[in-house]
């Protein structure tokens, strides 16, 4: 599957997730509704060790068996040092409770429907209205998604449906995962998603991507096929957080007294109340952000002019005098 450097470059290592940030966004409950709580807490080896040589060897020898009732009975078998290791829904359950709901809760979908024709599972217009800013169109671009969905997509791409490459584009199957999380209307099995993405990566022509590296490493250790002599690759955990999601030239992140505010390059905005904070009470101002509605309300109550979109501003001298008046009022609150 390539030299050591290219293997590490093309490997998706699951991130540690900042649960507080996830709760702030109201997304933790959406994962819990699908029974994916332990997905959020899964870190593989706490020290960051990944048995990358065994992982790549297992993937390079992978075969699939549909069983007698696919897709529920699909298994993936590969070999490490000549020893077979078979991944199934049951073997993944032995690692962690990755799907905490009862087995009948989940919808097991066909590989073709997931990767190529998700519209056969959920109507496109239904998914689009839930996920996209419809006035911008439904081209498969991240900037056309609703702001909260964009943030969720970054987590999906690292820990749920991992891939590398063009992060500004969206793949069809990612819409299905996003829709399942945002609405809870379709109960996808995380264990099945893991196996779908592992098999897809094995079945690609160039076979470069290695998804779920930490999970596969733990699985192979549990199957007792990793050679004692293999030295683990040390890969410290990166952390998924709101701030990390905004680490880019096209996204602005601001933390004020009460809020976390995100402004995307296309002008879309997301405003989230900080965890443990109450919204500003009447008369209380978030003085770190003059764009807050609370600031505008105080200006109106003070009899100061508030510029509306397209409106004219008062003369400069008048604006300065009004600013001094507002400053005195806010200092007395």
Compute the residue count for the chain.
Answer: 333
Helices (H) and strands (E) in the chain, counts: 15, 10
End-to-end CA distance of the chain: give it in Å, rounded. 65
Percent of the chain whose pLDDT exceeds 90: 69
58 in Cβ contact with 85 (< 8 Å): yes
Report d(CA 40, CA 84) in Å as an integer. 29
DSSP string, 174-225: HHHHHHHHHH--S-B-HHHHHHHHHHHHHHSSS---B-SHHHHHHHHHHTT-
CA angle at 174 for the pair 173 and 176, rounded to the nearest 5°:
65
Place of tokens 């540690």: 16
Tens-digit pLDDT profile for residues 256-299: 989 999 999 999 999 999 999 988 877 566 645 444 454 555 55
Q: Is the peptide bond before 124 cis (omega within 30 degrees of 0)?
A: no
Identify the pLDDT of residue 297: 52
Percent of the chain whose pLDDT exceeds 70: 80
The partner residues of 309 in beta bridges, in order of sequence, read none
Nearest to 114, CA basis, from 200, 211, 21: 200
22 in Cβ contact with 40 (< 8 Å): yes
Identify the pLDDT of residue 308: 42
Measured from the Cβ of residue 39, the count of other Cβ atoms closer than 10 Å reads 23
Name the pTM for this structure.
0.83
Nearest to 154, CA basis, from 171, 167, 169, 139: 167
Distant-in-sequence, close-in-space partners of 39: CB < 8 Å, separation ≥ 6: 31, 98, 159, 160, 190
Tens-digit pLDDT profile for residues 82-121: 999 999 999 999 999 999 999 899 999 999 999 998 988 9
């Amino acid at each position: 599957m390539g030299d050591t450097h290219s293997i590490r470059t093309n490997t998706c290592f699951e991130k540690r997730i900042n649960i507080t940030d996830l709760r702030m966004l109201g997304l933790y409950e959406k994962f819990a509704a699908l029974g994916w709580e332990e997905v959020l807490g899964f870190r593989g080896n706490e020290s960051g060790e990944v048995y990358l040589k065994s992982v790549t060897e297992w993937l390079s020898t992978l075969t699939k068996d549909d069983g007698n009732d696919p897709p529920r009975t699909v298994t993936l078998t590969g070999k490490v040092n000549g020893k077979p290791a078979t991944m199934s829904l049951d073997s993944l359950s032995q690692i962690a409770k990755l799907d905490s709901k009862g087995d009948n809760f989940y919808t097991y979908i066909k590989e073709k429907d997931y990767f190529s024709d998700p519209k056969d599972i959920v109507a496109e217009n239904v998914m689009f209205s839930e996920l996209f800013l419809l006035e911008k169109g439904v081209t498969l671009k991240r900037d056309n998604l609703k702001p909260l969905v964009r943030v969720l997509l970054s987590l999906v791409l690292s820990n749920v449906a991992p891939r590398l490459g063009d992060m500004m584009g969206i793949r069809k199957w990612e819409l299905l995962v996003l829709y399942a999380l945002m609405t809870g209307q379709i109960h996808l099995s995380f264990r099945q998603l893991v196996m779908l993405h592992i098999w897809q990566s094995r079945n690609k022509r160039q076979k470069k991507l290695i998804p779920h590296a930490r999970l596969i490493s733990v699985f192979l250790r549990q199957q007792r096929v990793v050679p004692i002599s293999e030295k683990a690759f040390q890969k410290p955990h990166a952390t998924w957080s709101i701030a990390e999601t905004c680490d880019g030239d096209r996204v602005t992140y601001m933390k004020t007294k009460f809020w976390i505010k995100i402004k995307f390059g296309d002008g879309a905005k997301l405003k989230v109340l900080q965890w443990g904070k109450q919204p500003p009470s009447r008369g209380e101002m978030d003085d770190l952000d003059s764009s807050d509605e609370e600031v505008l309300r105080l200006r109106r109550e003070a009899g100061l002019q508030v510029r509306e979109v397209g409106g004219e501003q008062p003369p400069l001298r008048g604006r300065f005098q009004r600013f001094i008046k507002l400053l005195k009022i806010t200092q007395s609150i």
